[in-house]
A and B are shown apart, each in its own frame.
Chain A
Amino acid sequence: MDKLIDLGPEFWTAAGETLYMVFFTMLFGGLAGLVLGIGLYVTRTGGLLPNVVVNNVLNVLINFFRPIPFIIFIAAVQPLTRAVIGIGIGTNAAVFALSLAASFAIGRIVEQNLLTVKPGVIEAARSMGAGPWRILTTVVIGEALGPLILGYTFIIVAVIDMSAMAGFLGGGGLGYFAQLYGYRQFEPIVTWAAVLLIIVFVQIVQYLGNWLARKVLRR
């Protein structure tokens, strides 16, 4: 316990790093994933702007990257990380790898949630003379908003999980803290302190997500 109190500053720094990584990953990866998911949704056969070529390219791209375990992905993507943000290690490098990996997963989740919108509703909008982009922005996204919020909530929790591996390239965070000060120094209390804080983060995120989705769905 004394050990944990001594480590107080490092603990809170690590917690800050985790929040930083999750926040920026959701910002960049969340947007990229939204674009990917919308792209998949509108280009599918029978979609708003059907395009077999674009749809196949996006599908292959996502199916290629998504099965790669994140710990390997981080290493494999390092040359690209270096080219884009100038350095292959550190918190920002971790954010880049996280955003990239998350965007593929988010793309799928966005696609799936948009597909829950009933075709009849889209047909009704078409029958009123609305064009594809208007239907997408004013009907489809609104109708799927509840499930989309829950999908994003799910992804935030997954990103908190993935961010624990950022220590692999010097990204810091609670995962790295637990590993370095807890596990390697035989201090289970330190490990558990990190675990507890992560659980608290997850609970808060899930609670807010559920609350927001309920508000949108009015039930």
Chain B
Amino acid sequence: MAIVSLANVSKSYPSPERGAPRIVAVDDVSLEIEAGEVTGIIGYSGAGKSTLVRLINALEPATDGTVTIDGRAITGLPERELRAVRLGIGMIFQQFNLFEAKTVAQNVAYPLKVAGWGKAEITARVQELLDFVGLADKARAYPDQLSGGQKQRVGIARALATRPRILLADEATSALDPETTQEVLALLKRVNEEYGVTMVVITHEMDVIQSIATKVAVMDGGRVIEQGDVFDVFSDPQHASSRKFVSTVVQGVPSPAELAVLRERHAGRIATFSFRDGDAAQARVFVELAQAGLEFELVYGGINDIRGRAFGHLTLAIRGEEAAIDRALARIGELVAVTEPPIGDGAVGDGAVGGGAVGDGAVGDGAQDGEAR
């Protein structure tokens, strides 16, 4: 059974302007999160990601629908009972949100005091947690004496103090440099694997998804427009809007600006071929092009690895007779996904020839500024 379940959940706020329609931050979202999974929530800023995770620990009450945690519906519970629910859900933040006036040890001890633990138990647990995150020597330091990575490790220790079964991470690595991001991600991975903590991570970084997520949900305009296994969503996004977002974070897909440059530099038709492991080998593509008597060159590309499974995108400039190119692309389209970015726009995903189904493009028209706290 899902440990977190959202059923037709919406969150709207009264508009600051009198008479204006309510601002919809989360719009009719249904999402099931299985115990032990790491679910990435991705999407552009303003898509409603932050609000969505705050519905899970009821920092934001849902205006519609039902949020169920561990089989218990929490929507509409009185504040006092919600506090008890929150003790079982840890949360970490982009800006760490440590208590600056408290030491590292006091920060980690805080949720335990809230939970009513005894003094000796708290001391032992704080020590255990600081050992786990590798900051035992910093127990008496204050947050302003720590680096960003150390601060987030304190944040993780603090969030895990009461042994929650769920951890919410709101852009937890976005304020860190790449190396520190890897450290923190490795720690989160250990949290998931050693303690079996279910995680919901908001992110816009491919690194985060690649290294820890098992499932992913794409948000746009307050809706979850696509969800599934990370590999499936990233290698073959079904929805136009998620395709657009995915193309901005995965390697090998040229941006519209890069496409314009490529067109200037290379004569011929530009086409992008998307491979997934298990699909026909790349070699077949080249063989088909060669057999059709076409001249081609590789102008852009990249291979992504998600949990040992690879997918990639290669963009070629193809020269030859138009009709011959059409025939060759149609044949290749039966083997792999072929995309010909239309001239002038260049957004990958529109006008796909064969391959993945074209999304309907009608993205929820909910308000974009749903990140209100």
Contacts and interface: CB of A to CB of B under 8 A. Distances in A.
Interface in A117-162: 118-121, 123-131, 134, 138-139, 142-143, 145
Task: Decide if the interface of chain B is mainly helix, strand, loop or mixed.
Answer: mixed
A124 B84 contact: no
B111 A128 contact: yes
B128 interface: no
A160 B368 CA distance: 53
A215 interface: no
A184 interface: no
Contacts of A130: 83, 110, 114
Interface in B134-167: 142, 144, 158-159, 162
Task: Decide if the interface of chain A is mainly helix, strand, loop or mixed.
Answer: helix
B101 interface: yes
Contacts of A123: 59, 93, 97, 373
A53 B55 CA distance: 28
Contacts of A131: 79-80, 83
B53 to A, nearest CB: 10
B125 interface: no
Q: How large is the interface on A (under 10, 10 to 19, 20 to 34, 35 or more residues)?
A: 20 to 34
Contacts of B95: 118, 120
A142 B59 contact: no
A125 B91 CA distance: 10
A145 B142 CA distance: 15
Nearest to A122: B97
Interface string B83-113: 1111101110101011111100000001101
A130 B158 CA distance: 13
B203 interface: no
Interface of B: 57, 59, 79-80, 83-87, 89-91, 93, 95, 97-102, 110-111, 113-115, 142, 144, 158-159, 162, 168, 373
16 contacts: A118-B97, A121-B99, A123-B93, A124-B91, A125-B110, A127-B57, A127-B90, A127-B159, A127-B168, A128-B86, A129-B111, A130-B110, A139-B99, A142-B99, A142-B101, A219-B144
Interface of A: 118-121, 123-131, 134, 138-139, 142-143, 145, 216, 218-219
Given A123-B93, A127-B59, 17 more contacts: A118-B97, A120-B93, A121-B97, A121-B98, A121-B99, A126-B59, A126-B86, A127-B159, A128-B87, A129-B85, A129-B114, A130-B114, A131-B79, A138-B110, A139-B99, A216-B101, A218-B142
